[in-house]
Every structure is written in C-alpha cells, then in structure tokens.
Amino acid sequence: MMKKTGEGAEITGNVMLDVAGLELTAEDIERLKHPACGGVILFSRNYDNPQQLDTLVSSIRASSPTPLLISVDHEGGRVQRFRDGFTCLPPMAWLGQCYDRDAEKALQHARELGWLMAAECRMVDIDFSFAPVLDLGLGVCDVIGNRAFHADPDVVFLLAAAWMHGMHDAGMAAVGKHFPGHGAVTEDSHLDLPVDQRDIDVIMKSDVRPYVSMFSEGLEAVMPAHVIYQQADEHAAGFSHFWLQQVLRDQLKFDGVIFSDDLSMAAAESAGSYATRALAAIDAGCDMVLICNQPQAADEILHAMEGYHSAESQRRLQRMVAAQNIDLAGQLSGQRGNKAVKLADEGVTAIAMEQTA
C-alpha cells in the first residue's frame, strides 16, 4: 500500500477518466496507455473492499507508461464512494452546526476528519479527493445541501481550511469546489445548466471569499462550476476565460491546478461535442479535464487531446501527487485514528437523529 506515483517523473497527460468496474478491462487498459491520459477518478462501482481497491489501483498504475493521478469524490455524507471498510464520514454541515455551538472545537473536529478521510484514501494509494466543498450552504441548492459547511463565507473558510490542513497532515493535496460558487442556484448541473443571475460584486464578496482566504492557506487546486453567471459571462465558469483567467489567475493570483468538472454532465452540453468541450475547457484555462461514465466520449477526448502539451499545467499538476513516507498505518491504528473514528461516528449519529426527528 501507499506506493509512489512516480518519483522524479511528471504527470504528462491532461485527461482524467474512469474505469469500468472492480478490475480493469482490455478497453480500460488501452485508454490508460494513451499519452493524453493523466489521471483516473474512482467511483463506488470500483469498490468492494480495501484490498480489492488497493489491487485495482496497483493495476491502474502498472497499466500506464507514465505516472497517473488517482482521485475520488470522497467528501463525507452522501458523497462518499467507499463505504464498507472505510469510516463513514458525516456531511460537512454537521461541522457547521458544531461551529455555531463551539467554534474552537469544530475547527479541531474539521482537521481530524479531513485527516481521517485523507489517511484512509492514502492507504489504498489514492492521491487526492475532490474536497473540500467551498459552496455556501444557503438552503437554495439541493445538490449542494448539507455538503456545504455553512452559509457564512468566513465560517466556510475556517472549517474548510482546518479540513484541508488535516488532508495535508496525511500528505494529500486539496481541491476547492465549485468555483465561484454553486450554492445560490436551484438547478442540479448534473441534469440542467444552472444560471446565476446575481451581480458579480455580490458573488465576489460572498461566494468567492472562501477561495481568496483558502489560496493564502495553500489550497492546491480548484474545480469550477458548470454554472453560468449571467452578469459576468455568457459561458459556464468551467469554459470561461473571464472566471479562469481574469479572475482566478490574474485578479486572485491563483497558480494552482484548475480541474474541469465532469464534461459528461448535462450542464456541459452547451459547449458542444465532447472533444469541443475538452478543448474549450483547456483553452479557458483548465489544466486537466474530467470525463466520467462515458467510455466512447473518453475515447473522443483522448484523441482530441493527443499531442497537447503545457509545461505550466505539468508543473501545477505535480502538486497533486501525494506525499510519501508518512506512517499513516500506525497513526490510523493509534490514538489519533481511534479518536477520529469516534468523532466521525458521533457526527453520523447526530445527523441521522436529526433526519428522523
């Protein structure tokens, strides 16, 4: 467990895709060998137990001639891809509730749960999770819902930063999402193209605030939302020069990784064919594009991205490779691990009781 992604070697591909199931198929292996493939995102269908997952990850790494980033959406709450054999984590809104009662204790909780999530994922050689969520919990967007820490952007920052520092304790980089904010739209971007009608000044002073503070704390990566912010740009943020270049790079001076959200989502359809979507996202400023649950679309995107090279993206993507030589097995079986698991159980129980009340 916890093998090296590739000491001294760089992530050279700019496409992150998925694989079919618990073991690799011949088609999976062909895609992993493609020079444009730079990473894999895992889903619940890829998981049966920790040993099987560890074997699958080893097979993925062995199938590629170049190093790959291996990732997962493992936030806690309803977005947790691995269940049996992993600790069940509470949704981030529980930490927000804790903060309203005892801020100092909530920040300690956030760091320990961020560490626990990252440590368990690192034990099966996963580089990073697409977390934390920085969207505001405004009670408007069901797809965000209790995935958000809090409605107050300053509290979101404090809790997310503590969570991120816990991830860093385990050697894992963090990804803030969904820039500049998905919390104020009702539509689910998996199914529709949401349009946020708010003035840009409102968005910058509220939704973007946690990002500004997180950048100063060392946030390594951002995932933009498949949402159109109509007062700012006609394009969804993930395809927008305005949001990715003018705001993120130029105004906010962010020099980390920009991952596209999944290009198979309904909200991405407005950008054209799969190949066109990928090229538009890269042109807007993304360093790596994600394509999930659509194998033929992955082939189309790999073909479109063949020959693409960006030294800047390579440099940034290297930051997502997990740190090595941390004794996570000992920590997980020791006092820190035991306390963190009890804390997670406490949060899950509290949320369950709240939902049945």
User: Which residues does the annotation mark as catalytic?
Assistant: 190, 261
Cβ neighbours of residue 222 closer than 8 Å, sequence gap 6 or more: 175, 176, 177, 179, 211, 248, 254, 256, 257, 258, 259
Strand order through the sheet with 288-290: 128-129, 69-72, 37-42, 15-17, 288-290, 257-262, 221-224, 175-179
Structural tokens at position 67 = 């190093």
Name the 3-class secondary structure at 253.
Answer: coil
The answer to whether residues 243 and 180 touch, using CB atoms and an 8 Å cutoff, is yes
Kindly report the length of the chain: 357
CA 22 vs. chain centroid, Å, equals: 21
> Interior CA angle at 331 toward 330 and 332, to 5°?
95
Structural tokens at position 184 = 């104020």
Report the chain's C-alpha Rg in angstroms: 19
Torsion of the alpha carbons at 108, 112, 118 and 124, rounded to the nearest 10: 180
